[in-house]
């Protein structure tokens, strides 16, 4: 599939294009050197070289709207998939580091529910590379918030645990308290698209202090997984209503076909 693990659309690249691509990746690795896989196994909750190799990372070209690889060749519509052209998200653009599947699910759920916060810095590195075009044009980073009752239960916000090191890594302003979840919501898992929208409708609000912080700024919203986009849309709507000039989204993983498949 185009866009997955550096795949080429045509399968053939000119020698100069290959050299340019390799030079670009080498430059990225100098700025953000890849972590040693041997070192990761002991320090990041048992992540092994084999587990790392099975993850399907996303690389350009990807859809500018949802961040996933194109199922087919780009049409005259430009850099967005058919779904994003027909039903745009509230946020402007998105990037995902990898595909959400049986190989990445355990790592992400380990952070979200298993208290494996050691993965957070690794995910931040992944996002720094995958979301680089968005990061270069953003002014501040905002994590998707948890309701206080859920935060008390879980003891940490997984989105904040990723957003904080990402902001530090790229020298960005980090605004953890600008956006609040003002009412508890049920888990989005297992809900239809309509059910997910209803579940988070009106659930987010920008604080008074947050409104001053985001006014006129370009915001990078950070979450763990992009499924239907209902939660990110609700957050983006609140941020834009409070004065943000644009909201983009960066997630660890994207769910392929989530908006087209009944759930």
Instruction: Categorize the per-residue pLDDT at 119 as very low, low, confident or very high, splitting at 50, 70 and 90.
Output: confident
Report whether CATH 3.40.1190.20 matches the domain 62-254: no
Q: What average pLDDT does the chain have?
A: 78
Instruction: Categorize the per-residue pLDDT at 72 as very low, low, confident or very high, splitting at 50, 70 and 90.
Output: low
| Distances from the Cα of 21 to the Cα of 59, 127, 248, angstroms | 12, 19, 25
pLDDT higher than threshold 80 for residue 238:
yes
> Alpha helix (H) ranges present in the chain?
15-31, 37-43, 49-54, 82-86, 105-112, 119-130, 132-135, 148-154, 158-170, 193-200, 208-214, 230-241
| Beta bridge partners of residue 246, listed in sequence order | 218
Spatial separation of the C-alpha atoms in residues 252 and 38, rounded to whole Å: 22
The answer to which of 7-16, 18-27, 52-61, 159-168 has the lowest mean pLDDT is: 7-16
Question: Tens of pLDDT along 32-68?
Answer: 444 433 344 433 445 677 888 889 999 888 999 999 9
The shares of helix, strand and coil residues in the chain, as percent rounded to the nearest 5, are: 40, 15, 45
| Region 83-108 average pLDDT | 93
Spatial separation of the C-alpha atoms in residues 105 and 101, rounded to whole Å: 6
pLDDT of amino acid 240: 97
**What pTM was estimated for this model as a whole?**
0.76
Is residue 172 a contact partner of residue 142, using CB atoms and an 8 Å limit? no
| Residue that wins the pLDDT comparison between 201 and 252 | 252
pLDDT of amino acid 60: 86
For the chain, percent of residues with pLDDT exceeding 90: 48
State residue 222 phi and psi, 5-degree precision: -120, 130
pLDDT of amino acid 76: 47
């Amino acid at each position: 599939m185009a866009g997955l693990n550096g795949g080429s659309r045509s399968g053939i690249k000119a020698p100069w294009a290959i050299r340019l691509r390799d030079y670009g990746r080498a430059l990225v690795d100098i700025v953000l050197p890849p972590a040693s896989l041997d070192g990761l196994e002991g320090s990041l909750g048992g992540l092994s070289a084999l587990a790392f190799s099975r993850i399907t990372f996303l690389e350009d070209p990807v859809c500018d709207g949802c961040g996933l690889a194109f199922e087919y060749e780009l049409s005259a519509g430009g850099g967005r998939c058919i779904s994003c052209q027909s039903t745009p998200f509230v946020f402007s653009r998105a990037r995902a580091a990898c595909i959400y599947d049986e190989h990445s699910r355990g790592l992400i759920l380990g952070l979200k529910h298993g208290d494996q916060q050691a993965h957070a810095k690794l995910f931040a590195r992944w996002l720094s590379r995958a979301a680089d075009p968005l990061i270069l044009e953003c002014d501040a980073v905002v994590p998707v918030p948890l309701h206080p009752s859920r935060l008390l239960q879980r003891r940490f916000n997984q989105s904040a645990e990723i957003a904080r090191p990402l902001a530090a890594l790229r020298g960005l302003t980090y605004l953890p308290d600008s956006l609040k979840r003002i009412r508890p919501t049920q888990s989005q898992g297992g809900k239809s698209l309509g059910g997910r929208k209803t579940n988070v409708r009106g659930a987010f609000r920008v604080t008074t202090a947050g409104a001053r912080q985001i006014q006129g700024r370009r915001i990078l919203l950070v979450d763990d997984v992009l499924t239907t986009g209902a939660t990110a849309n609700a957050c983006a709507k609140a941020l834009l209503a409070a004065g943000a000039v644009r909201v983009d989204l960066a997630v660890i993983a994207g769910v392929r076909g989530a908006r087209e498949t009944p759930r």
